[in-house]
Amino acid sequence: MFSGALAYVALLVVLMSMRVRYPFELEWLEGTAVDHARTILSGEPLYAPPSLRFIPLTYTPGYFYVGALLMRLIGVGFLPLRLISIAASFVVLLLLARMAIRETGDRHAGVLSAGLFAAMYGWTDGWLGIARTDPLFLALALASVYVLRWYSSIGAMLAAGLLISLSFLVKQTGLLVALPLCLWSAWRGWTAFLAFAGTVLAIVGGSTFVLNRAFHGWYVYYVFAVPGQHQIATETLLGFWRYDMFRPMAIALTITGVYLVWQVVGHKSERGIFYLLSAAGFIGGAYASRLHSLSYVNVVLPAYLIAALVFAIAVYDPSFTPTGRMRSGLYALSVLQLLRLAYNPAPLVPSAADVRAGHELIASLAAMPGDVLVVDHGFLPSMAGKPMHPHAAVIADVIRGGRTSVEHGLAESLRESLSQHQFDSIVIRDDPSPVRAWLPLDTYYRPAEQVVSIRSRFWHPETRYVPR
C-alpha cells in the first residue's frame, strides 16, 4: 500500500513535468485563462459589458491576477499559469501528508493521503497542474483548514480567515467551504469566531464592494448573477453521489463516513467534529458546484481531497482499529481503493501528432484572411496573429441565462455579427457541443474545409466555416 500510494505521487510529478511545456491547450478553457491574464496586462477591465471581443469566465479574479503578475516576469503563455497550478498542487499534497501524519503519528498515513488524492489525477483527466483556478483554490482552502486544526491563537484565527477568503477570491466555492468552518471557530469560543468569521466577512464583503465599484457593477454580474441564472443540472442530484463520488472512491467514502460517525457520535471528539464540518464544507461546495449546469468533474476535487485525508487518518488511527485483524482488513481495503483508481498515463501526455496538429492549426489560422472567430479555443488565435474573441463557453454562459437585457443584447449582437458576416471565417469543432445551441452560425455560414483532423484527448476534428 505504501509503495502504491507513493507511486501515484511519483507518477503525478512525472506527468506534470511532461505536460507543462506543451505549447497548446491541455484543456478546453486553458487558452481563455491566458486571455484573462493578457487582458489584465493590457490594462483593459477584466469585468465589463459582454462583447464579442472579450467576456470573462464566471470566476473571482485572484488566479488571473497572480497569473498576470507571473506573465509579466516570464512571458505570456500557458507556462506561467501552469507553474502556479503545479506549485499549488504540490502544496496540497504536502498539506494532506502533514495533516494525516500529525493526526496519527504515522508517516504511512501521510503517504496514503497524498497518494490517494494524486491517484485522482487520472479520474479527473489530469486536471491538477493545468492553467485553471482549482489547484490554487484548493491549496488556500486546505491551508486554512490546517491552521484551524492545529492553532488556536487569535492570530491563527485571523490567518485562517485570510486564507479561506483568498480561496474565495480565486473561486467562489471558497465561501461554501468557509461556512462550516465558521461553526468550528464558534466551537472554539466567541473570540475565535469573531476573529475568523469577522475576517471572512470583512475580506469577502469588502472585496466584493470594492471590485464591484471598480468594475462598475460587472463584477457582481459575472461572479454571482450569471451563475445564478443557470438551471440546476437535475441529473447530478444523485449522479454526483453515484458517479462522481462512489464510483471512484466507494471504499474511501464508506470508511470516512463510518469513521466520522464513530468519532462524533461514539466519542464526541474534537477531531471528529472538526473533520465532519470540514467535510461538510468541501463536499457541500463540490456538490453545489456540480449541480450547476455544464459543470465538469474538476468541481468535485474538494470532495476528493477531504475524503483522501479523512480516509488516511481512519486507516492509521490506532483507536479505530484496535486489533491486528482490523488493521489488516483496513490495509487490504486501502490497497483495493488504490487499485480501483489505476489509470493509463499515456493518453494524458500530448504526442508528437498533437504538437503537429497544433502547429498546423496555427498556420491555418494565420493563412485565413481577415477576422477569424475560433469558437473552441482561447489564446490560440492570438498565436496566429488574429484578434481575441470570447470562448463559446463564456458566450453561452451569458446568453443561456436570458433573464435581463444584457443577455438578450449579447444574443442579438452575436446574431447581427453573424448575419452581417463580420467574421471572414469561423472555426468550430465538428463534434456536438453543449454550447453550440447558443451559436446560430449554420444559418449564416457554411462548412468549407477541415482544419483539424486528429482526434485525441487534446484535439477534436474542426472545420472552417465561411459566409454563405
pLDDT digits (tens, 9 = 90+) for 221-276: 999 999 999 889 999 999 999 999 999 999 999 999 999 999 998 777 899 999 99
Instruction: Give domain limits for the chain.
Output: 2-346, 350-467
C-alpha cell of residue 101:
501524519
Q: Which of 9, 18, 53 minimizes the C-alpha distance to 35? A: 53
pLDDT tens digits, one per residue of 24-47: 999 999 999 999 999 999 999 999
Gap between the Cα atoms of 465 and 164, Å rounded: 46
DSSP one-letter string for 385-450: TPPP---HHHHHHHHTT--SHHHHHHHHHHHHHHHTT--SEEEEESS--TTGGG--GGGTEEEEEE
With a cut of 70, which residues of the chain have pLDDT below it?
A: none
Single-letter residue type at 1: M
What integer pLDDT is reported at residue 414 of this predicted model? 95
What integer pLDDT is reported at residue 426 of this predicted model? 97
DSSP one-letter string for 153-169: SHHHHHHHHHHHHHHHH
- Give the predicted TM-score (pTM) of the model: 0.96
Beta strands 372-374; 425-429: pairing state: parallel
Distance set, CA 89 to CA 12, 16, 26, 93, 108 (Å) = 10, 10, 16, 6, 20
